[in-house]
Amino acid sequence: MRISRIETFLAPPRWMFCRVETDDGIVGWGEPVVEGRAEPVRAAVEVLAEYLTGQDPLRIEDHWQVMTKGGFYRGGPVLSSAVAGLDQALWDIKGKAYGQPVHQLLGGPVRSKIRAYAWVGGDEPAAIREAVAAQIEAGFTAVKMNGSGRMTPVATRAEIRECVRRAETAREVLGEERDFGLDFHGRVSPANARRLLPLLAETAPMFVEEPVLSEHMNVMPALVNASNIPIALGERLYSRREFLAPLASGVAVLQPDISHAGGISELRRIAALAEVYGAQIAPHCPLGPVALAASLQVAFTTPNFLIQEQSIGIHYNQGAELLDYVADPEPFRFHAGSLARTERPGLSVEIDEAAVRTADKSGHAWRNPVWRHDDASFAEW
């Protein structure tokens, strides 16, 4: 069996799919994308496709090594995301070739269902009480929300209080049995994070995510020790190597993205590295159906898995939704906030190819919002 053709498709709201075809008719799907930088990732996939075309698709690890290291210059979000999507598609092909779901090829399932959380509150978190209540009504046992909107680097007492009050509201609605994650989104400065964490401890979030930007890894040990709240991060890290420093700092939850951090192959290794440190993984996934399906395959076979992000109903999904691109929504049907294990071959997702091809005709040009402070200086989004 040889790889005969590789195509890419830009699909709203802000996603990209790749389709890898083999000469005996098996097709694998992947989702290589960096949100807001889809076009450069598409170009990177095209360059990697030059190498992959004509190769045996089952030699995933060898292809991963060549794609990651064979260009001399390596790493970064664009290349790692291109490799990630192609890696997912190769695993999909392998599963279909052997008639097995990918989690069986990775050692078999260690759990029967995957707990997931739903997003609430939007970019500038508002109407938390109503939003959390609606997700409880929908059956979710956990939600995640932004801790704040834009925030001045050394915040006023009122800004800090508002952030704590929002978490208190979420806790009040959730009760003691359900969880919430609080995403600081890298928009909170080290000074503000140190102030906030002890004040939030009483609300007992499941984790605080990206308490500061991951580039400020030097302050991470202090933040780990600033409260008893588990610290989570990792959506902007791209290889197992980059997860070593946070683990050594005492970060409790790693959030690699299966479409940014080298795909199924590398996510497995990041999870194994986390296990050495007693840390959990909670994969980042505000993306489409292939990224979610690939994340689930890893989650089914990973012992130190905590909870899965998913994008259904997320505030970024304007104009298209995850289920728009699947022929059968069953693998993404929630039962009391969890997704059940399926035994379909490959990634266990059936992509609606006609819908993907139609979406690509209009494509998208999604870009991050650019935020400004009151004085017009740049603010982290």
Q: Which are the catalytic amino acids?
A: 185, 284
Of the pair 51, 371, the CB lying nearest Mg ion is at 371
Q: Which two tokens stand for residue 118?
A: 């739903």
Q: Closest Cα partner for 219 from 240, 206, 233, 235?
A: 233
Stretch of residues binding Mg ion (CB under 5 A), selected from 130-138, 152-160, 178-186, 339-347: 178-186
Are residues 16 and 33 in contact, defined by beta-carbon separation less than 8 angstroms? yes
Restricted to residues 118-147, the positions that interact with Mg ion (CB under 5 A) are none
Stretch of residues binding Mg ion (CB under 5 A), selected from 112-120, 180-188, 190-198, 363-371: 180-188
CA distance 320 to 331: 18
Of the pair 101, 234, the CB lying nearest Mg ion is at 234
Stretch of residues binding Mg ion (CB under 5 A), selected from 135-143, 183-191, 243-251, 333-341: 183-191
Pick from 87, 92, 183, 257 the residue near Mg ion by CB under 5 A. 183
179 binds Mg ion (CB under 5 A): no
Residues in contact with Mg ion, shown as a per-residue x/- string from 203 to 242 under the rule CB under 5 A? ----------------------------------------
Are residues 260 and 80 in contact, defined by beta-carbon separation less than 8 angstroms? yes
**H-only helix segments in the chain:** 38-52, 60-69, 77-98, 102-105, 128-137, 157-174, 190-200, 220-224, 240-249, 263-276, 289-300, 353-362
Q: What phi and psi values does residue 201 have, to the nearest 5 degrees?
A: -55, -40
Of the pair 28, 121, the CB lying nearest Mg ion is at 121
Of the pair 35, 183, the CB lying nearest Mg ion is at 183
Minimum gap (Å) between residue 183 Cβ and Mg ion: 4
Size of site (CB under 5 A) for Mg ion = 1
Rg (CA), the chain: 20
Q: Which residues contact 71 (CB under 8 A, 6 or more apart)?
A: 79
Q: Which residue is nearest to Mg ion (CB)?
A: 183
CA distance 81 to 237: 11
Q: How many residues in the chain?
A: 381
Stretch of residues binding Mg ion (CB under 5 A), selected from 49-57, 177-185, 317-325, 363-371: 177-185
Of the pair 144, 341, the CB lying nearest Mg ion is at 144
Contacts with Mg ion by CB under 5 A lie at 183
